[in-house]
A and B are shown apart, each in its own frame.
Chain A
Amino acid sequence: QSALTQPRSVSGSPGQSVTISCTGTSSDVGGYNYVSWYQQHPGKAPKLMIYDVNKRPSGVPDRFSGSKSGNTASLTISGLQAEDESDYYCCSYGGSYTLVVFGGGTKLTVL
């Protein structure tokens, strides 16, 4: 069982918005602003999409945004496009003992 809880799947139509949640505890998500999100296409390496809760690396479309409330972080993708169909993983700093925890991943389907 993964340390962070994500829905196994979400879906949306092109142009719509979807939100993927990532629930942890006060020892990880809720305790630090070190939540990151990764996109992974089948057979490929993960790609950083969001870091430090809501910051976007250069080159990531502004359709991708992140937020956090309490122990739950969220990734929102607006204006869905076919190429957004992928697996998404959240990640958080877990403190000095656990260090890094990932979510179980969410499969996004663009209908």
Chain B
Amino acid sequence: GQNIDQPTEMTATEGAIVQINCTYQTSGFNGLFWYQQHAGEAPTFLSYNVLDGLEEKGRFSSFLSRSKGYSYLLLKELQMKDSASYLCAVRDWRDDKIIFGKGTRLHILP
């Protein structure tokens, strides 16, 4: 089976940096996604990692270590609009499923 763990909630201050961790266990790993979901809206794609290392995209970066079953999403220069849930998702090549973690609700304080 698969197991994806991420913190339930985090709080950070506007302008600061926050790191949201995700650990996963799967035998058929074939890529890790991060999605952002604002309240009442659909999830939107943020990043994709399939090889070890850091992928940077503007204020957001995502890191992957396959040997450790670990990823993080790094958000810099936090803005109030970054208040949202951040969902870690893993793709399994055996059945092509994309399975989501329970999400981390990020609160940004002024």
Whether chains A and B associate is no
Chain A residues with CB under 8 Å of chain B are none
Chain B residues with CB under 8 Å of chain A are none
